[in-house]
Chain A
Amino acid sequence: MSDKPETNAYWATNIKIVTWCLVLWALVSFGFGILLRPMLSGIAVGGSDLGFWFAQQGSILVFLAIIFFYAWRMNKLDAEYGVDEQ
């Protein structure tokens, strides 16, 4: 199958989608939730700041969005490349 450029393009697109999803995954948890929290401290959210919200709730909500986006996008990609289950 390695000779099929179609499959290679499918996998390369998948890697690109996974990479962007993981960038977002790291940004909301390690970024907004921990390391970048001091920079967001000016943005007040209900008695604390945006970083606290991301650490306690926001990151979980973004994780959910990432997984559902990935499932939707990949199932579409499978169909585009004709590698979906029949």
Chain B
Amino acid sequence: MDQFVLNWIFIGASFVLYIGIAVWARAGSTSEFYAAGRGVHPVVNGMATGADWMSAASFISMAGLIAFTGYDNSTFLMGWTGGYVLLALMLAPYLRKFGKFTVSEFIGDRFYSPTARLVAVICLIVASITYVIGQMTGVGVAFGRFLEVDNTTGLLIGAAVVFAYAVFGGMKGVTYTQVAQYVVLIMAYTIPAIFISLQLTGNPIPALGLFGNAVDPATGADSGVALLAKLDQIVTELGFNEYTTHHSDTLNMVLFTLSLMIGTAGLPHVIMRFFTVPTVASARWSAGWALVFIALLYLTAPAVGAMARLNISQLMWPEGTASEPVSAEMINSDEKYAWMATWQKTGLLGWEDKNGDGKIAYFNDKDADKVAAMEAAGWGSENELTNFNRDILVLANPEIANLPSWVIALVAAGGLAAALSTAAGLLLAISSAVSHDLLKGQLTPNMSEANELMSARLAMAGAIAVATYLGLNPPGFAAQTVALAFGLAAASIFPALMMGIFSKRVNNKGAVAGMLVGLVVTLVYIFLHKGWFFIPGTNSFTDADPLLLTIKSTSFGAVGAMLNFATAYLVSNATEEPPEEIVELVESIRVPRGAGAAAADH
């Protein structure tokens, strides 16, 4: 069957499934809309959290991020999983015990301050909107690539599907569609990975294959050489940095990992998933299950990255780097290279025989020694694999491994599932902040249950409209905003939540001062390096030569968090103690007993 038709069938079937779930899981109350009625099984919630968390970036880009840099980008692997330890040990059980609907509501109540709640709402909305832009553009791009519709149409179809299950189902609809989306995305990720691992290492489990021996491409037998050793050898022969060694600055690497961890634990759309489980004990288990489902992809991603990089490097030098590069004619005629022509059309891959010798030489032409060696060998002074986008490692994997067309269609559906599930989670965080914190909490406190449910649906519809608009007209800074989202979550939200639980002494003034200091200093630091409001040319420093030691703006969230803690501590100790009822509130969230009662209030 035609690939194009298969893509439509797989994506169409997955969308019918999501909408079917939406019809089945409609939300009938605010408790169902905000927290799925608090009846979600911890394993089910763990799976939904996995889809909620793993975005288009995790699915499409992470393997490539690791593949092109090697060891230094292990920061993403440790950072994006280590945050779940903080979440499980320091936030999730207590916030579940608190038993309300939004992250900002906890901050407002614990610090008995509408100002604190408002600051938290602003951070939450800015972090979530910047994050959702990337998901929406991802949906448009995935449609464009696999279904040959233009980005705008693709984005509108995606938005309509999210509308169907998020507006009517709220958290309840989103939870069960996220479970379905998790299943689609993990199959789409692991099936091609298993095949490429079998081809390159003979081991069906990619995570084990990564540390196993490579298979000799000519004979198919064990070569006796470790895959990583072979990869190190071939990339250095081509003039690139050795894969497994440490090249980047250590201080920045530590702070970047820590910022990703704290930011992960502070992202509201992840935290609010833990409001949906029935008990404190199940919130603890559920965080573990979430990491199990996330780890299935995160343990596979570094294997996919390393194997795909080795595979492509070997394809470009079929007889080894000491021999000659692949010929342009071979790329055009040999079926092993057929995927290259397919992906050239998408603009993710490009090659050009610059010196007209009929060969396509792939090497690092920024390395002077390598350029001299290549010139001496007669392959020219320029890298002729002119365009090698990192996203291709995951997207083209099934074609490179010569897998059947249904696997390609599955990867298309998987990429869309990853983008849609994260978008829905973020939109839910935004709409509940608007309806529950701003409307019900500040403007019209006497709103009835039915009216609040209606306003939650309207807020969701509005959030989808804004996200769709921003996805269609992405601001030029879209690529940089993930740093912003993590920076805000790390510097403002996480410390406020943690101090609210672990300290009885931090008061309203301390918390507000801490959040503002963390927020403002982090924002200014990012703007100083990326440009004010991300306008190019207005930056005073660059990440290559940062203001403070070697700390890049993407790694500053951890510093912002420390400033937040220090400010809150100093200001609180200089001002009055929190009132007695706040001390009692803190004591009550520290023990699980009574969590059911908190849920029954709603």
Contact = CB atoms under 8 A, between A and B. Distances in A.
Q: Do A and B come from one complex?
A: yes
Interface of A: 1-2, 7, 10-11, 14, 18, 21-22, 25, 29-30, 33-35, 37, 45-49, 52-53, 55-57, 59-61, 63-64, 66-68, 70-71, 74-75, 78, 82-86
Contact of B258 (A30, A57, A75, A85): A30
A47 B592 contact: no
B104 to A, nearest CB: 25
A30 B587 contact: no
Interface string B578-602: 0000011001101111111000000
Nearest 3 Cβ contacts at the A-B interface? A47-B226, A46-B211, A47-B228
A78 B465 CA distance: 45
Contacts of B228: 46-48, 52
A41 B591 CA distance: 44
Contacts of A34: 246, 250, 253-254, 257
A66 B257 contact: no
A14 B257 CA distance: 26
Contacts of B81: 59-60, 63
B82 A59 contact: yes
Contacts of B244: 47-49, 52
B291 A63 contact: yes
Interface of B: 66, 71, 74, 77-78, 81-82, 84-85, 88-90, 93, 207, 210-212, 225-232, 244, 246, 250, 253-254, 257-258, 279-281, 284-285, 287-288, 291-292, 295, 298-299, 302, 583-584, 587-588, 590-596
Given A74-B284, A85-B281, A47 B227 contact: yes
B584 A56 contact: no
B252 to A, nearest CB: 11
Given A18-B90, A25-B85, A46 B226 contact: yes
B588 A1 contact: yes
B307 to A, nearest CB: 13
A45 B280 CA distance: 39
Contacts of A21: 85, 89
A37 B291 contact: no
A70 B82 contact: no
Given A67-B84, A74-B284, A84-B281, A59 B78 contact: yes
Contact of B85 (A14, A49, A57, A67): A67
Given A29-B257, A55-B74, A46 B592 contact: no
A57 B299 contact: yes
Given A52-B244, A75-B284, A46 B88 contact: no
A34 B555 CA distance: 15
B128 to A, nearest CB: 25
Given A47-B226, A47-B231, A75-B281, 5 more contacts: A21-B85, A22-B89, A46-B210, A47-B244, A67-B85
A86 B584 CA distance: 21
5 contacts: A46-B226, A49-B244, A64-B295, A67-B88, A74-B93
Contacts, number: 150
B587 A1 contact: yes
Contact of A2 (B78, B246, B583): B583
Contact of A66 (B85, B93, B594): B85
Contacts of A22: 85, 89
Nearest to B504: A2
Contact of A63 (B84, B225, B590): B84
Nearest to B66: A56
B298 A60 contact: yes
B187 to A, nearest CB: 20
A20 B207 CA distance: 28
Question: Quick one: which of A1, A57, A61 has the most chain B CB within 10 A?
Answer: A57
A52 B195 CA distance: 24
A83 B230 CA distance: 56
Contacts of B595: 85
A54 to B, nearest CB: 9
B593 A57 contact: no
Given A63-B84, A70-B88, A37 B246 contact: yes
A20 B231 CA distance: 38
B280 A85 contact: yes
Contacts of B291: 60, 63-64, 67
Contacts of A46: 210-212, 226-228
Nearest to B209: A46
A52 B284 CA distance: 30
Contacts of A70: 88-89, 284
A1 B586 CA distance: 10
B285 A71 contact: yes
**Residue among B257, B258, B596 with max Cβ neighbours from chain A (10 Å):** B257
Contacts of B299: 57, 60-61
A71 B288 contact: yes
B211 A30 contact: no
Given A30-B258, A46-B212, A85-B593, A55 B71 contact: yes
A34 B229 CA distance: 20
Contacts of B85: 21-22, 25, 63, 66-67
Contacts of A52: 71, 74, 228, 244
Nearest to A70: B89
A48 B211 CA distance: 8
B339 to A, nearest CB: 27
Considering residues B93, B229, B230, B244, which has the most beta carbons from chain A within 10 angstroms of its beta carbon? Answer: B244
Given A7-B587, A55-B71, A60 B78 contact: yes
Contact of B287 (A10, A29, A67, A85): A67
A22 B77 CA distance: 18
B249 to A, nearest CB: 11
Contacts of A56: 66, 71, 74, 77, 210, 302
A25 B302 CA distance: 20
Given A1-B588, A7-B591, A46-B211, A57 B596 contact: no
A45 B212 CA distance: 9
A84 B90 contact: no
B211 A45 contact: yes
Nearest to A29: B78
A1 B281 contact: no
B291 to A, nearest CB: 5
